[in-house]
Structure formats: structure tokens, C-alpha cells
Amino acid sequence: GCVGNLPQVRSFLVNYGQSAVCTPCDVAFPKDGVAAEADPNCETVVISELDLGSLEEQRELGSVRPLYDRRSDLYDLTSKVPIEIVQVQ
């Protein structure tokens, strides 16, 4: 969401928000799905340690596996435009 204000924009007066690092809601992760959370309405940086190996393992073995349930007819993971690969030496 938006945080802060833009006094020069009439419909965008004051906005409030809260930053967080979210995790999957599964057994190996925090039960509320939040690894770190900032104080509400406070300008700050949220830092959390990410274990990418654990995330990869849970994608294969976890009880929630959205990559396997994804409808390929709705979500296409191919490029719509040609991709040019350039090697720099």
C-alpha cells in the first residue's frame, strides 16, 4: 500500500501502511506467515533472514504447493516477445 502524503494531489492526502516480510503459511515457516514486521506508520527498513534451501524443499514436500496447482491455461511462463541473449566478455 501507499504510505505518506502528497499534498499537491487532492485525492491522495494521508496514507498509512506497515511493512513486512511474508513467508508461506506452512509447517516449516512461522504459523502467521510473517518472518519480520515493522511498526505501523513508521518509516523503517524490515530485515529478515531468508533460507532459500528451506523454501525450495517446501515447494516439493510442503502441504501447500501452489506451483503444482497452478492452472497453466491461465498463467503462461513464456515470453510474449523474443528475448535476445547477449554475451559480454
**C-alpha to C-alpha distance for 16 and 21, rounded to whole angstroms:** 17
pLDDT at 71: 80
Q: Scanning the structure block, which residue is given the C-alpha cell 491455461?
A: 73
C-alpha cell at position 6: 502528497
Cβ atoms 59, 29 nearer than 8 A: no
According to DSSP, residue 23 is labeled: -
Side chain identity at residue 10, one-letter code: R
- What's the pLDDT at 4? 67
Q: What is the pTM of this model?
A: 0.56
Give the residue extent of every domain in the chain.
4-69
pLDDT at 34: 93
Q: Which residues of the chain have pLDDT under 70?
A: 1-5, 13
pLDDT at 72: 76
What pLDDT is attached to residue 37? 92
Q: Tell me whether residue 13 is exposed, middle or buried, using C-beta atoms within 10 angstroms of its C-beta: 0 to 12, 13 to 18, 19 or more.
A: exposed
Answer whether 9's CB lies under 8 Å from 19's CB.
Answer: no
